[in-house]
Amino acid sequence: MGKYELLYIVHPDLEASIDKITDQIKAAIEKRDGKITYEENWGKRKLAYEIKKSDVGIYILWYFEAPKSALSKIERDIRLTEEVIRYMLLAKSDKIKVKADKPKKDKPVVKEEAKAEEKPKAKKAPAKKKETVPTESEEERMKKLDEKLGALIGEEEKAE
C-alpha cells in the first residue's frame, strides 16, 4: 500500500453540505481498500485565481494509504464529484520526510548577513569625505579647464 496526500477544494456555497461531500470522497477511498490516516479542514481560503465564478474555496487535506492499483479509480471518483472544484493527489515518500526532518545550520547564514551589513557602512564613510573636501589637484584641473574654455570662447569670437 502506498501513502498519498489529497488536497481538494470545495465550492464555498456548499459549506452546509461539506460533511456529505467528505463522506462521499471517504467512501470512494475506503471502497477501494484505502485507509484515511489524517484529516484536516483548512476552512475558507482565497484562491489564487477565480474558479467557477468564485475566488474563495473550502480547503480539505487528507493523508491516506491505498493500493497503487486502486489509485486511478479513486482519482476518477474525485474528478467526477461535481462539488470539488480542484484537487491535487500526491504520492508521499518517506525519503522526502527524512530529508526534511534534518535540522539546518543557521549560523553560517547569520555570519554572512552580519558581514554584508558591516561592509556597506565602512564604504559609505570614506565616500562622503571625498565629496565634501576637494583636493588641490581638483582645483588645479578646474582652473585649467576654465582657461581652455576661455581660449575656445575667445577663438570663436574672433572667428565671427
List, for residues 14-34, the tens digit of each pLDDT value: 888 889 999 999 999 999 888
Q: Would the pLDDT of 62 be above 60?
A: yes
Which helix (H) or strand (E) covers residue 29, if one does? helix 18-31
**Same-domain pairing of 74 and 132:** no
Question: Is 30 inside any structural domain?
Answer: yes
**Same-domain pairing of 125 and 51:** no
Q: For 95-137, what is each residue's pLDDT tens digit?
A: 655 555 555 555 555 555 555 555 555 555 555 555 555 566 8
Question: Is 102 inside any structural domain?
Answer: no
**Same-domain pairing of 129 and 63:** no
Question: Is 13 inside any structural domain?
Answer: yes
Residue 89 is part of which domain span? 2-93
CATH number of the domain that 85 lies in?
Answer: 3.30.70.60
Contacts 24+ apart (CB under 8 A), 86-90: 86/8, 86/9, 86/51, 86/57, 87/6, 87/7, 87/8, 87/9, 88/6, 88/7, 88/8, 89/4, 89/5, 89/6, 90/4, 90/5, 90/6
Question: What are the C-alpha distances in Å from 123 to residues 41, 90, 130?
Answer: 53, 51, 12
**Same-domain pairing of 38 and 73:** yes
Q: In the chain, pLDDT over 90 holds for what percent of residues? A: 22
Per-position b or e across 127-149, b if 16+ CB within 10 A of its CB: eeeeeeeeeeeeeeeeeeeeeee
**Same-domain pairing of 50 and 115:** no
Question: Is 36 inside any structural domain?
Answer: yes
Q: Would the pLDDT of 56 be above 80?
A: yes
User: Please, which pLDDT band fits residue 139 given cuts at 50, 70 and 90?
Assistant: confident
What's the number of domains the chain is made of? 2
